[in-house]
Amino acid sequence: MRQVNLGIIGGGTVGGGVFQAIQRNGALMASRLGVSLTVARVAVRDLKKARAVKIPAGLLTTDWHSVVADPAVNLVVELMGGTTTARQVVLAALKLGKPVVTANKALLSAHGEELFEAAQHYGTNLYYEASVAGGIPIIKVLREGLIGNRITRLFGIVNGTCNYILTRMKDEGADFAAMLAEAQRLGYAETPPDLDIDGHDAAHKTGILASLAHGFWVNPNQIYTEGIRSITRQDIEFASKLGYTIRLLGCVKTANGEGMKSASRSRQSAIQVSVYPALVPNSHVLANVNGVFNAVYVRGDVVGDTLYYGRGAGQDATASAVLSDLADAALDLKCGTKNRIPPFIPHERDGAVLPMDDVVSRYYVRLTVEDRPGVFAKIAGILAKAKIGISSIIQPEGHDGVTVPVILMIHDAPNAAMRKALAAVAKLPVVKSAPVMIRVESFE
């Protein structure tokens, strides 16, 4: 039986989980693949650090260079995180013609184009199933399962921390700060939590999915990104009464087919790539993805609507995705086809990301206004001047005092028009706090 020797870079949560999973199911994988996976060496930062998963001392080293360059190592597994040293590790392995498995979405978001070109140039491969949505095999779905489809829309709940916080806020009527603290206590959120709650982690993943779905590498700086810090218990409650659930969505939509409306006809070949909290109809499956779970909803022009659901993070979910890549890499080595399916092939020369100001959406708007006659007329006048239509106005009962909340549900309008109109609304003396705007996804 062919043996493939692994050099693992990183012995933390994910690295330890992969080592443990290979010990547990290595024989099972060998029986299915006809290839035996053996961990030859593991590079870590600190040999003395206590680890939840015990790795034999004889396998450990602090010198990642020696692991990558070791002639006995056939396959390099980058699980250290970060983007600086990780980039060096991956490039060094690729230059030696060694395939690489990585779970590093930040690395791919920042340097994916360079790394994919290096893999192609040196005749090897880069596998990255674990970089997006943990145990959900969404990379394989887009690269292989739906290869005969044009992807017209993709919506992803791809950050378990945000989904956990929003779920708990709805279920318990709790404030954002309290649920963030709970997520940190349980280990779902880092300290500081900015990468998750400000949407950057979701943006890394959404950019990778958009690139695969549409055949050009999406510059992460072009992804409109909005997190969940501004979502309040009040917004959760009002959305629920209107028949919606708030979720942080990664959105990828085409402009030249179904799935997206654009304010500019000259940009009809571009795609929307964005991350933001959105009102999701309670009848839609994504509204029922709760807690730390992830889900990706994909529409192809041939297959129609498909859904992929599971644990998006954690030691075991990520290790499972890494094992999937190890299996693919081992089979490619066994068959002498290192680049049977290249990691990424750009095929859309005219691909572009639509500026967020050109994207057309429906909106939920919450205002805090003085409780006196004539207020609605002033607000409606500004919106009418901007050619923005109001589908409904709701003033919840039971609010005593000088100010009251007002909920506006807005018809389709360009983001630029909404942004400018709400800036004007905020300047009205009768408006007592900054307007809150959340997009509404209908999935029509």
- What's the pLDDT tens digit per position in 204-216? 999 999 999 999 9
Inform me whether the pLDDT recorded for 350 exceeds 90.
no
Q: How confident is the model at residue 278 (pLDDT cuts 50, 70, 90)?
A: very high
Inform me whether the pLDDT recorded for 268 exceeds 60.
no
What's the pTM? Answer: 0.94
The arithmetic mean of pLDDT across residues 253-279, rounded, is 75
Which domains, ranges and CATH numbers included, belong to the chain?
Answer: 2-134+315-335 (3.40.50.720), 140-311 (3.30.360.10), 361-440 (3.30.70.260)
Inform me whether the pLDDT recorded for 40 exceeds 90.
yes
Q: How confident is the model at residue 442 (pLDDT cuts 50, 70, 90)?
A: confident
Predicted pLDDT at 400: 66
DSSP helix/strand/coil, 252: strand
Nearest to 22 by CA among 311, 327, 314: 327
Strand partners, 275: 225, 250
pLDDT tens digit string along 163-188?
Answer: 999 999 999 999 999 999 999 999 89
Q: Which of 98, 170, 205, 253 is catalytic?
A: 205
* DSSP state letters, 12-40: SHHHHHHHHHHHHHHHHHHHHHSEEEEEE
For the stretch 313-317, contacts whose Cβ atoms lie closer than 8 Å and that sit 24 or more positions apart, written own/partner, are 313/134, 313/160, 314/134, 315/13, 315/14, 315/16, 315/17, 316/17, 316/21, 316/135, 317/134, 317/135
pLDDT tens digit string along 366-411?
Answer: 999 998 888 999 999 999 999 999 999 998 876 667 899 999 999 9
CA distance 6 to 240: 50
* Between 442 and 233, residue with greater pLDDT: 233
Q: How confident is the model at residue 266 (pLDDT cuts 50, 70, 90)?
A: very low
257 burial level (CB within 10 Å; 0-12, 13-18, 19+):
middle
CA distance 118 to 111: 11
217 burial level (CB within 10 Å; 0-12, 13-18, 19+):
buried
Nearest-10 crossing angle of helices 415-426, 375-385? 150
Please list the alpha-helical segments (H only) found in 125-232.
138-140, 160-172, 176-185, 194-197, 200-214
CA angle 133, 67, 107 (to 5 degrees): 30
CA distance 56 to 44: 12
Predicted pLDDT at 401: 73
pLDDT tens digit string along 291-315?
Answer: 999 999 999 999 999 999 999 888 9
CA distance 264 to 207: 22
The arithmetic mean of pLDDT across residues 70-94, rounded, is 97
Q: How confident is the model at residue 340 (pLDDT cuts 50, 70, 90)?
A: confident
Nearest to 144 by CA among 359, 375, 382, 328: 328
First to last CA, the chain: 52
Q: What's the mean per-residue pLDDT of the chain?
A: 94
Answer whether 89's CB lies under 8 Å from 68's CB. Answer: yes
In eight-state DSSP terms, residue 62 is S
41 burial level (CB within 10 Å; 0-12, 13-18, 19+):
buried
Q: Which residues contact 56 (CB under 8 A, 6 or more apart)?
A: none
Predicted pLDDT at 444: 77
Tell me how far CA of residue 325 lies from CA of 38, 129, 177, 321, 330, in angstroms.
Answer: 15, 6, 38, 7, 8
CA distance 280 to 361: 13
Look-up of token digits 């997520």: 183
Strand partners, 300: 151, 304
Residue 49 annotated as catalytic: no
Predicted pLDDT at 257: 47
> What Rg, from alpha-carbon coordinates, does the chain have?
24
The arithmetic mean of pLDDT across residues 107-118, rounded, is 96
Inform me whether the pLDDT recorded for 261 exceeds 70.
no
Predicted pLDDT at 263: 63
Answer whether 416's CB lies under 8 Å from 360's CB. Answer: no
